[in-house]
Structure 1
Amino acid sequence: MSRILVAATPVTGHTGPLLRIAAHLVDLGHEVAFLGGARFAERAGAAGAVFHPLPPEADYDERDFDASFPARRSVPPGPARVAWDVMHVFGDPLPAQLRSLRQLLAEFPASAVIHDNLFLGGVALALSAPAADRPTVLSIGVSPLGVPSRDTAPHLLGLLPPVDEEERARYAVLAESLEERTRPVHAYLSGVFAAAGVRLPAGPSGRVRAESADHYLQLTVPGFEYPRTDLPANVSFVGALPLPAGRDPWQPEWWPALSWARAAGRRVVVVTQGTLANVDLTELTAPTVRALAERRDLLVVAATARPDGAQALHDALSDLQGLPTNAVATGYIPFDALLPFADLLVTNGGYGGVQAALGYGVPLVVAGETEDKPEVAARVEWSGTGVNLRTARPSAEQLSAAVDKVLDDPAFRERAHALRSELAEYDALSLIAELATGPGGA
């Protein structure tokens, strides 16, 4: 059996997948240490891993970024905030992350280190020594693949791949302009790496981060990612991670309505803003419920992923005097229980949630424009599995039209089913374990 060190950025969407990987490795009999945010200690212990907290200077709670990064609130959403996050949310913790990795490896000589793609301490570890002189490093792509390519548009703009040479040339000019504008970001990161005693290679950061790892493992399938003729050889698609099974047998009192709706020929529309961007339910959840209010052909399930979500949504719908009769609201509900009933998912574009929906063959309507969400939405559009609304605050009219478009055109469900079949061909956990513990990783 092997010793494996798993490290995660202290953000739910990054830590959750790494915890699932850790649990699988423990189930296989490997010794696993988990380096992550303090608030995930209990979950790491439940996974069977030995938990080690990140030092305070590398730990924070994404539910209240303002507390850890007060300057962030003055940066407008969009490219400026993305650049700020790269430098400060992900960049600044790097020296402390690397120091913790090295201290742990001195006590726990792991043969492999597995980290999420934005845990830059893992990137620095890989760059700090030849492969023969350090553990095998596996980087897990928990967000859309950001490796630049002549076959794609510049990353994070939410643009579809070029369709001809004219558009390819236009994208190349755009990429040069963006590279010039982001040069200060690369310079800042170079300084952070240097402070940790590691040289950051020149070149686009997305490619450098990917190529630094011995194995860069993207949590999706080729059918949901733009083809690249210049993809680095160390990048592999391993499929999506299975959803964690709901451990609580409790079901809300409205649960039988799902079966009743199906029996009555009504279609089920689930709407969610995920587990992080769900503070303001007036962005997507409330407008969706409002857009579909009182439609007899639909049952709308608002999955708010917050304990006070039902009441918060009721308050946001004061113009309707609360929830319409064709809608129900819940806090946290396991997606593995809910998605089998869904005919459509309306989402703000969280990468993991979209992969989960496609794993059940559920088509999508996506409304997101912060962080990497435009890239997720663009891939939904490109793959034919749903509609990209290109805004985080769609109107009721936009939502109603998009829902009808997806539900009425069988092509969307057919493409979602095709992705479900492709995802079913992969076993992400086994593939990751094999690379982490097989020849070169054991």
Structure 2
Amino acid sequence: MALVIAAATPFHGHVQPVLTVAADLVRRGHEVVVLTGSRFAEDVRAAGALHVSLPPAADFDDRRLEQHFPGRAAFPTGPAQLDYDMKHVFGDPTAAQYQALRTLLARRFPASVVISDPLFLGTTALALSAPPGRRPVTVGLGITMPTLLSEDAPPIGLGMPPLLGEGAKKRHREMNDQVKEAFAGAQRHIEENFKGSGTELPGFILDCLATVPDHYLQLTVPGFEYPRGDLPSSFRFVGPLPAAPRAPRPLPEWWAEVECARQPVVAVTQGSFDNRDLGRLVRPAIEALADQDVLVVAATGRADGPAEIEAGGPVPENARVGGYVPFDALLPYASVLVTNGGYGGVHQALRHGVPLVVGGDGEDKPEVAARVQWSGAGLDLRTGQPSPEAVRDAVLAVLGEPGYHARAAGLRAEIERHDALDAIAEVVARAAS
């Protein structure tokens, strides 16, 4: 049995994959403490682990970011807001996270392994605080695309695939230099935060997220990520995590129509978190396909979601709108998924061999969408607020071109050859031996 600390920045999208890992390690007989935000205490206990809250300087409620970071609203979605987030949302908690880890290790829980999402920078500071053997083994979970700069691919943030042909590597290096220049202020700010924890950041922060941990386990397969010849030896593709177990929910009253549908089923979602305004993607998709021979199944991810859609106008006859629709039940019937592009949700679709139409903005979603199109598994709408016409054209293109389904099936087969939980458990077992 190993003692494991699983640490997560208190965002829903960061905590859930860490909890999936924690629950699996508990099932395998390990003792796990989850260090994260106070609002996730019940979720941690449901996973069978012990919850420890982050100290106030590092704890916040991601549903109310404007209360914790009042200056954030002044920056528009995009590079300016990312710069703010790197400085204040992720950078400023570094010393408090690091001290919480040190205190937990020294007084209550002498773990042999610390697993965390990459932006939990307290773990990065822990890895820098002492050489291996004098501290726990650190494991970074690649819950989104690699942030490493490379001469083989553009830097993240541009939402573009690798350039091809003569001069591509040179152009990638030039773009990397531009990103470093744009991040210079954030870099200095984060370096000061590391000094506050008594450590020194050894390079560019977007590189360090993946190079500093002893192990970096990317939660995808090579076929969904831009090829790079300069990855460190500690970097490994392990495949996506399985969907987190959820309490059983009753299927919608119209579910038999999904099971018996003769026409293609088009699933639509804005995810389980970024769904406050269903007019961004769900409503346009419903309107776009109203006159097509398809069955549209919109999963709003909210109990009041169907009421919001109905308040916006009549629901077309070929559309069914639900609150919480279990995607493990829906995706086997889906011919295409229209989604805002969350990393986990996209991989859930690919696990079922379902091609995608992606319309998302903010956070990592443009990068996910770009990889969907680059991989051949679907189309990128290049906006988080597409017009109904754009959605319709993309859905019909994916339904009408067998290549999208073939590529999604190929990625499904590649995913089936990986087991992320086994790979993580192997690292834990080696560290504890």
What TM-score comes out, normalization by structure 1 length?
A: 0.95
| Equivalence for 2:50 | 50
| Alpha-carbon distance in structure 1 between the residues aligned to 2:336 and 2:176 | 35
Q: CA deviation at 1:229?
A: 0.6
Alpha-carbon contact 1:244-1:336 (below 8 Å) kept: no
| Alpha-carbon distance in structure 1 between the residues aligned to 2:220 and 2:178 | 30
Point out where structure 1 has 5 or more consecutive residues left out of the alignment.
Answer: none
Which of 290, 308, 313 pairs up with 1:312? 308
| Alpha-carbon distance in structure 2 between the residues aligned to 1:248 and 1:279 | 24
Q: CA deviation at 1:139?
A: 0.5
Residue pairs, 1:34-183, within 5 angstroms: 34-106=34-106, 107-183=108-184
- Other structure's SS at 2:167 match: helix
With over 3 angstroms needed to count, the CA separation of the structure-2 counterparts of 1:356 and 1:173, relative to structure 1, is same
| Alpha-carbon distance in structure 2 between the residues aligned to 1:258 and 1:294 | 18
Q: CA deviation at 1:333?
A: 2.2
Point out where structure 2 has 5 or more consecutive residues left out of the alignment.
Answer: none
| Equivalence for 1:396 | 388
The reply to whether residue 331 of structure 1 matches residue 323 of structure 2 is yes
| Equivalence for 2:298 | 302
| Alpha-carbon distance in structure 2 between the residues aligned to 1:367 and 1:409 | 19
| Equivalence for 1:220 | 220
| Superimposed CA distance per residue, residues 37-88 of structure 1 (whole angstroms, 9 cap, x where no aligned partner) | 1121111111110111112221222222112111111101111111111111
| Superimposed CA distance per residue, residues 152-191 of structure 1 (whole angstroms, 9 cap, x where no aligned partner) | 0121211111211233323322222221121111000001
| Alpha-carbon distance in structure 2 between the residues aligned to 1:68 and 1:252 | 37
Runs of 4+ residues over 6 Å off in structure 1? none
The reply to whether residue 271 of structure 1 matches residue 268 of structure 2 is yes
- Other structure's SS at 1:32 match: strand
Q: CA deviation at 1:340?
A: 1.3
Q: Alignment identity in percent?
A: 49
Alpha-carbon contact 2:249-2:326 (below 8 Å) kept: no
| Superimposed CA distance per residue, residues 258-279 of structure 1 (whole angstroms, 9 cap, x where no aligned partner) | 1121xxx211111111122211
Moved more, 171-180 or 393-402: 171-180
The reply to whether residue 14 of structure 1 matches residue 14 of structure 2 is yes
Q: Partner letter of residue 281 of structure 2?
A: L
| Alpha-carbon distance in structure 2 between the residues aligned to 1:69 and 1:31 | 34
The reply to whether residue 370 of structure 1 matches residue 369 of structure 2 is no
| Alpha-carbon distance in structure 1 between the residues aligned to 2:392 and 2:194 | 48
| Equivalence for 2:201 | 200
Q: Partner letter of residue 131 of structure 2?
A: P
Alpha-carbon contact 1:349-1:368 (below 8 Å) kept: yes
Q: CA deviation at 1:294?
A: 3.9
| Superimposed CA distance per residue, residues 171-221 of structure 1 (whole angstroms, 9 cap, x where no aligned partner) | 32222222112111100000111111111112x322111111000000000
| Equivalence for 1:349 | 341
Q: CA deviation at 1:331?
A: 1.7
With over 3 angstroms needed to count, the CA separation of the structure-2 counterparts of 1:164 and 1:134, relative to structure 1, is same
| Alpha-carbon distance in structure 1 between the residues aligned to 2:307 and 2:95 | 42
| Alpha-carbon distance in structure 2 between the residues aligned to 1:61 and 1:267 | 40
| Superimposed CA distance per residue, residues 365-399 of structure 1 (whole angstroms, 9 cap, x where no aligned partner) | 01112111111111101100000111111111111
| Alpha-carbon distance in structure 1 between the residues aligned to 2:370 and 2:150 | 16
| Superimposed CA distance per residue, residues 274-295 of structure 1 (whole angstroms, 9 cap, x where no aligned partner) | 1222111111111111111142
- Other structure's SS at 2:344 match: helix
What TM-score comes out, normalization by structure 2 length?
A: 0.97
Alpha-carbon contact 1:135-1:441 (below 8 Å) kept: no
Q: CA deviation at 1:441?
A: 4.3
Alpha-carbon contact 1:111-1:441 (below 8 Å) kept: yes
Alpha-carbon contact 2:152-2:172 (below 8 Å) kept: no
Moved more, 304-313 or 393-402: 304-313
| Alpha-carbon distance in structure 1 between the residues aligned to 2:301 and 2:111 | 36
